[in-house]
């Protein structure tokens, strides 16, 4: 278990960071490269632990993947090129890997066992195993197929008409990936729009998928063709520096190469509403995913309400938004965010517990949290609880703390941002 003394009492942050590749898009680039026909090249891939788990699973499914840091060469032989693995597939800490993989394996007529770490063992899988079972897949797992280890024997799939009970890009994507292999047209209705990287990837690999408001339709037995993918920087990683630049005095940070897919930019909207001095520059919409640079300066912030359709557009940024709210004047309410309870940790509980330890005024509610600002953060011993986003949020919080801050389980950060500390340290003045 790693323990790290965080930098505290920092006066200002100045400089530039090129944000590493998006985790969601990096996973999907490996998956689509594997199920397409031909040689896919990926640049600016994120070599974080989660995406490396995805590579390892696909290698065990018989796919040739050459990895050279941020560059990949994937030799895809179509869905039919995947072979029964001799070993159990270990997804590590990655919910995206296991849920999307189930959708791909749904149409494969062989057996696979899927396991993950302790956190994955607590995350609900029925949301995926349920609709896949309705499509004709044989799935099982602990507690009636709800938890890992999961075993799956795929085969012939019937299309499905499915209304998602929760707004989840992972569930939507798993059904789309199964739908791509079914006989006929699959329809999915989302309660609220979620990140659409899977839909964009399908088009980038020459496939077809239709979207009409919240209804998505995909026809089965499509042949996908290899592509060239440049992965934009991860706005969920950029979020830590956006908040750091806003809350530290006399700061100015330029963030380069940030993915600006509108299904992910809720953090920008909320920060602007709270009064952040945040500018989007050099936006480029030409690629399959929009990218741009962001400039954040020290800001005078006020509290706000974060709720409703906005939640899926910033779900992974809520821990860092909670920290931002501790430095805003007045009350911030975050609601409609029950999904936080089933992430790498129960992020309502871990955010509230750890920010309280540092001296913030924050309380948990049934579906979110209430934060009263502005608080002076002091310091203490905190833990990531094995959750990368909690670890990075605490590292940014520590910058403001007057006393020492010791972070337990700091190694979780490498799940999505292996270079987080060097990037943060380069900004400290
Ligand atoms: O992959 P994992 O572990 O689920 O990662 C998280 C994260 O914080 O990095 C969530 F814990 O991001 C999910 C995100 O919350 C990644 C994702 C995707 O790539 O499709 C979708 C979201 O999850 P969900 O359950 O809302 O679909």
Report how many domains make up the chain.
2
Distance separating alpha carbons of residues 202 and 183, to the nearest angstrom: 18
Catalytic, out of 49, 90, 234, 316:
316
State whether the beta carbon of 316 lies less than 6 angstroms from ligand 1: yes
Distance separating alpha carbons of residues 81 and 61, to the nearest angstrom: 9
Please say which residue of 230, 252, 283 terminates a domain: 230
- 207 and 248 in a single domain? The answer is no
State whether the beta carbon of 53 lies less than 6 angstroms from ligand 1: no
For ligand 1, mutation pick of 343, 387, 390, 417 (most atoms within 8 Å of CB): 343
- 132 and 239 in a single domain? The answer is no
Q: In what order do the strands lie in the sheet with 3-6?
A: 3-6, 405-408, 380-383
The CATH number linked to 260 is 3.65.10.10
Two tokens, residue 337: 């965010």
- 159 and 293 in a single domain? The answer is no
- 155 and 275 in a single domain? The answer is no
- 202 and 325 in a single domain? The answer is no
- 200 and 186 in a single domain? The answer is yes
| DSSP summary character for residue 336 | S
Distance 154 CA to ligand 1 centre (A): 24
Contact 101, 151 (CB under 8 A): no
State whether the beta carbon of 94 lies less than 6 angstroms from ligand 1: yes
Active site residue 316: yes
Q: Structure pTM?
A: 0.98
- 415 and 367 in a single domain? The answer is yes
Secondary element (H or E) of residue 318: helix 318-326
- 202 and 248 in a single domain? The answer is no
- 33 and 16 in a single domain? The answer is no
- 144 and 290 in a single domain? The answer is no
Averages of pLDDT over runs of 10 residues in the chain (429 residues) are: 93 97 98 98 98 98 97 98 98 98 98 98 98 97 96 98 98 98 98 98 98 96 97 98 98 98 98 98 93 98 98 98 98 98 98 98 98 97 98 98 98 98 98
State whether the beta carbon of 204 lies less than 6 angstroms from ligand 1: no
Maximum distance among all Cα pairs of the chain, rounded to whole angstroms: 62
Please say which residue of 215, 230, 245 terminates a domain: 230
Please say which residue of 205, 230, 255 terminates a domain: 230
Q: How many residues does the chain have?
A: 429
Distance separating alpha carbons of residues 58 and 82, to the nearest angstrom: 8
- 115 and 92 in a single domain? The answer is yes
Distance separating alpha carbons of residues 314 and 340, to the nearest angstrom: 11
Q: Which domain holds residue 260?
A: 3-21+232-427
Secondary element (H or E) of residue 340: none
- 253 and 198 in a single domain? The answer is no
Give the three-class secondary structure for 417. Answer: coil
Torsion sign over Cα 238, 241, 242, 243: positive
State whether the beta carbon of 170 lies less than 6 angstroms from ligand 1: yes
């Amino acid at each position: 278990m790693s323990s790290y003394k965080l930098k505290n009492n920092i006066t200002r942050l100045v400089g530039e960071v090129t944000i590493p590749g998006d985790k969601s898009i990096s996973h999907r680039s490996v998956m689509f490269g594997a199920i397409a026909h031909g040689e896919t090249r990926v640049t600016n891939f994120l070599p974080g632990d989660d995406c490396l788990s995805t590579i390892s699973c696909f290698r065990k499914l018989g796919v040739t993947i050459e990895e050279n840091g941020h560059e990949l060469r994937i030799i895809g032989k179509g869905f039919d090129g995947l072979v029964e693995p001799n070993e159990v597939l270990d997804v590590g800490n990655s919910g995206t890997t296991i849920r999307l993989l189930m959708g791909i394996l749904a149409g494969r007529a062989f057996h696979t066992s899927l396991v993950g770490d302790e956190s994955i063992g607590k995350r609900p899988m029925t949301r995926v195993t349920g609709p896949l079972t309705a499509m004709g897949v044989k799935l099982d797992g602990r507690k009636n197929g709800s938890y890992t280890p999961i075993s799956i024997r795929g085969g012939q799939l019937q299309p499905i008409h499915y209304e998602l009970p929760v707004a989840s890009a992972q569930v939507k994507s798993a059904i789309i990936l199964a739908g791509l292999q079914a006989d006929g047209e699959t329809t999915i209705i989302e309660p609220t729009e979620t990140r659409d990287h899977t839909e964009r990837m399908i088009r980038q690999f020459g496939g077809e998928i239709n979207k009409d408001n919240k209804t998505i339709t995909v026809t089965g037995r499509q042949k996908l063709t290899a592509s060239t993918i440049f992965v934009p920087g991860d706005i969920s990683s950029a979020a830590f520096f956006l908040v750091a630049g806003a809350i530290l005095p006399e700061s100015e940070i330029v963030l380069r190469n940030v993915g600006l897919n509108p299904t992910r930019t809720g953090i920008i909207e909320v920060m602007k509403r709270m009064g952040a001095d945040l500018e989007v520059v050099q936006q480029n919409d030409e690629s399959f995913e929009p990218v741009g640079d962001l400039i954040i300066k020290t800001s005078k912030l006020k509290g706000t309400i974060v709720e409703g359709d906005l939640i899926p557009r910033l779900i992974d940024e809520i821990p860092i938004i909670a920290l931002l709210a501790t430095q805003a004047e007045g009350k911030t309410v975050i609601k409609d965010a029950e999904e936080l309870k089933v992430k790498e940790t129960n992020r309502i509980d871990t955010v509230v517990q750890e920010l309280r330890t540092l001296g913030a005024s924050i309380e948990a509610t049934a579906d979110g949290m209430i934060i009263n600002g502005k608080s002076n953060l002091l310091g203490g011993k905190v833990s990531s609880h094995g959750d990368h986003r909690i670890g990075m949020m605490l590292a940014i919080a520590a910058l403001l703390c007057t006393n020492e801050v010791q972070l337990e389980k700091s190694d979780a950060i490498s799940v999505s941002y292996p270079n987080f500390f060097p990037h943060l340290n380069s900004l400290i003045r």
